[in-house]
Chains A and B, each alone.
Chain A
Amino acid sequence: MTSSLPPGLILIAAACLLPLLRGRLRDALVVAAPLLCLLVVWLVPDGSNLSLPFLEYELQPLDSSRAGRLFATVFSVMAFAGGVFALRQSSTTELAAAYAYAGSAIGVTFAGDLISVFIFWELMALGSTAVLWAAGSRASYRASMRYLMVHLFGGVVLMIGIVAHIHATSSIAFQAMQPDSIGTWLMLIGFLINAGAPPLSAWIADAYPEASPGGMVFLSAFTTKTAVYTLLVGFPGAEILVYVGLYMMMYGIIYALLENDMRRILAYSIVNQVGFMVAGIGIGTEMALNGAAGHAFAHIIYKALLLMSAGSVLYMTGKRKCTDLGGLFQSMPITALCGIVGALAISSFPFTSGFVTKSMIGQAAADQHLALVWFIITAASAGVFLHAGIKFPWFVFFQKDSGLRPDDPPWNMRIAMWLFTFLCIAIGVYPQPLYALLPFPVNYQPYTGAHLVAQFQLLLFAGLAFFVMLPQMKRTLTLSLDFDWFYRRFGAILLREFTGKTSDARNDLERRARARLKRLIANLFRHHGPQGALSRSWPTGSMVLWIAILLGAYLIFYYI
């Protein structure tokens, strides 16, 4: 039975059941469904287990591979921790949307053909939009519409790419490709839009921070990392990804440095981190792909942990701007500690999960003698500590005393944070189980003296740079313009201008048509109205008179 049940459907079924349940039963389902899903992920044998006829094709929605299982595992763990974190604080609608979203993401990791990929891809867009809706504010609704617009556009591009590819090759298999035809290029672009690649990177920092505290924990995990998975399977070694990845790393750092909203800082750092993975996929060696896959695994956990920490602060204080926060470590020690562990992990601090995964990507660049790539990756690794590793904990938990004294969040939120704090450190200290899950055999030793010294020097001096430059980083009540300006402002101005001009033209046309019609009616009235020459009634007397005149005239003519 389990060998023909796509695990993602368990979470989607749970999402459908949730609205029907109340109280403990609902809580039990929230906790149990992801665990059951995780179990089934591991029971599915390798290879394709299910074949569904669709039109003239055979869909393979249950095709298990090493990379797919790795991502499905971390997605299930993520859904579990996210469910525990949001158990009491999120509405049932939000949890149901989040589980449908997570289930669809797991669906992609088991999709063996492009059509199944596309179906789960679109379900993910809908689920994530519903998570944003559940936040219930006007800002979140508007952000969700912009988010949906970007993702439906990405979905259409992907769909066109898939159709063109199937037309050209008559194969629907989802396997390693190179961007060398219109179809494959469009698929690559469709995947990259979901990864947060330029130019459309802005949707991440625009939409995610408008979600609820629990909502953003879910959102941070699935869309971008599913895109990483599809790139990993579909386009390993595509050179352009190296440059896209390098750009994303730097983009994330610069924008996060400028940002004031704590969860937007973390959203920008998602782009930065996905940049490392995308660059690794572009390098394309076994070491690099292992690094990208492993880093995605570690990233989901520490990024969720950071967002749980930020979400707890938001939940307890209702504030999200660094300018309003500060000094919270005094009354929220657990949240601060967990946030710091997440911050160390994202910075690849030794003995945390980031250290054992990201370093493989840098190592792969060095092995391939890609000097520029290696120097930028190393600079970006230092920059991560700067923009997320120190900036987030410093401005939220230390900085100045904001006077706020909120407590740590409720127990379920604390449990979820402890669980991921534990995983961040456990993976860092004992990486072998994760290494064993990676797509290729791992021949890499992260804990060498040289690597430790290099990483300590890099990060600690980056930390020094942070505190030396601190006066330059005073938070301001600002946002930063990004590509979304084009569809939020430029598009709006164009639209206003267009509506203005076209409504002028329409008004003018209408005015002229009315005038013409008026003249027509006036003319008709003159000739055919009650007093009109052609329609007024003639008195009988005048007819008799005219006949008398006619007869008289006749007589006169006759007489002459």
Chain B
Amino acid sequence: MKPQQHWLVRPKTIRLLWAVLIVILALTLVANFFIHQHDYFGIEAGFGFYAWYGFITCVAMVVIAKVLGIFLKRKDSYYDE
């Protein structure tokens, strides 16, 4: 018999956490209707700028890291010989 999993890692909890995260994400977007962002560069005052900018740049950074990894990654014993 496998020991009982910690409550935090049960699939049910993880589904719940995803739901909570999505609700919070939606709330930050809703907050955009009540708050006016400063507009220094003509784009940040647009709806949900920080949300899409954060998401897209992070995806881009992961992809860039992935591509650079093709060239830069070596076995971690590379320098040991």
Contacts and interface: CB of A to CB of B under 8 A. Distances in A.
A472 B66 contact: yes
Contact of A479 (B25, B50, B74): B74
Contact of B40 (A260, A261, A366): A366
Given A449-B35, A454-B37, A457-B29, A257 B51 contact: no
Given A453-B32, A453-B35, A489-B79, A481 B72 contact: yes
A367 B40 CA distance: 8
16 contacts: A366-B41, A378-B53, A383-B61, A386-B58, A450-B35, A454-B37, A454-B50, A458-B51, A460-B51, A461-B50, A461-B51, A462-B58, A469-B58, A469-B59, A478-B75, A480-B72
A404 to B, nearest CB: 14
B74 A386 contact: no
Interface in A90-104: none
Contacts of B29: 457
Nearest to B64: A254
Contacts of B15: none
Given A253-B61, A254-B65, 17 more contacts: A254-B64, A254-B68, A258-B72, A321-B76, A329-B8, A371-B41, A453-B31, A454-B37, A454-B44, A454-B50, A457-B48, A457-B54, A458-B50, A458-B51, A460-B24, A465-B58, A477-B75
Interface string A485-514: 000110000000000000000000000000
Contacts of A460: 21, 24-25, 28, 51, 54
Contact of A369 (B32, B40, B52): B40
A222 to B, nearest CB: 26
Given A386-B62, A453-B28, A461-B25, A479 B78 contact: yes
A450 B50 contact: no
A330 B10 CA distance: 13
Contacts of A466: 58
A560 interface: no
Interface of A: 250, 253-254, 257-258, 260-261, 321, 327, 329-330, 366-367, 369, 371, 374-375, 378-379, 382-383, 385-387, 398, 401, 449-450, 453-466, 468-469, 472-473, 476-482, 488-489
A258 B69 contact: yes
B32 to A, nearest CB: 7
Nearest to B31: A453
B40 A374 contact: yes
B1 interface: no
Which of A330, A366, A382 has its CB near the most chain B CB atoms (within 10 A)? A382
B12 interface: no
Given A457-B50, A461-B50, A488-B79, A379 B74 contact: no
Nearest to A449: B35
Given A382-B54, A458-B53, A458-B54, A450 B73 contact: no
A330 B6 CA distance: 7
Nearest to B40: A366
B17 to A, nearest CB: 10
Contacts of A469: 58-59, 62
B28 A480 contact: no
B25 A450 contact: no
A465 B62 contact: yes
Nearest to B25: A460
Interface string B2-27: 00001011000000000001001100
A455 B44 CA distance: 12
B19 to A, nearest CB: 13
Contact of B25 (A327, A369, A386, A464): A464
Contacts of A458: 50-51, 53-54
A461 B55 contact: yes
Contact of B21 (A261, A385, A464, A476): A464
A378 B41 CA distance: 13
Contacts of A261: 76
Contacts of B8: 329
Nearest to A479: B76
Contacts of B38: 366, 450
Nearest to B65: A257
A258 B68 contact: yes
A478 B76 contact: yes
A462 B61 CA distance: 11
A382 B53 contact: yes
5 tightest A-B contacts by CB?
A: A465-B58, A457-B50, A379-B57, A257-B65, A382-B54
A475 to B, nearest CB: 11
B54 A462 contact: yes
A382 B35 CA distance: 21
B18 to A, nearest CB: 8
B28 A456 contact: yes
Contacts of A374: 40-41
Given A458-B51, A469-B62, A476-B73, A450 B36 contact: yes
Given A366-B40, A461-B25, A464-B25, A479 B79 contact: yes
B59 A468 contact: yes
B73 to A, nearest CB: 4
Contacts of B63: 472
A355 to B, nearest CB: 14
B39 to A, nearest CB: 10
Nearest to B18: A467
Contacts of A321: 76
Contacts of B32: 453, 457
A457 B58 contact: no
Contacts of B49: 457
A465 B54 contact: yes
B38 to A, nearest CB: 6
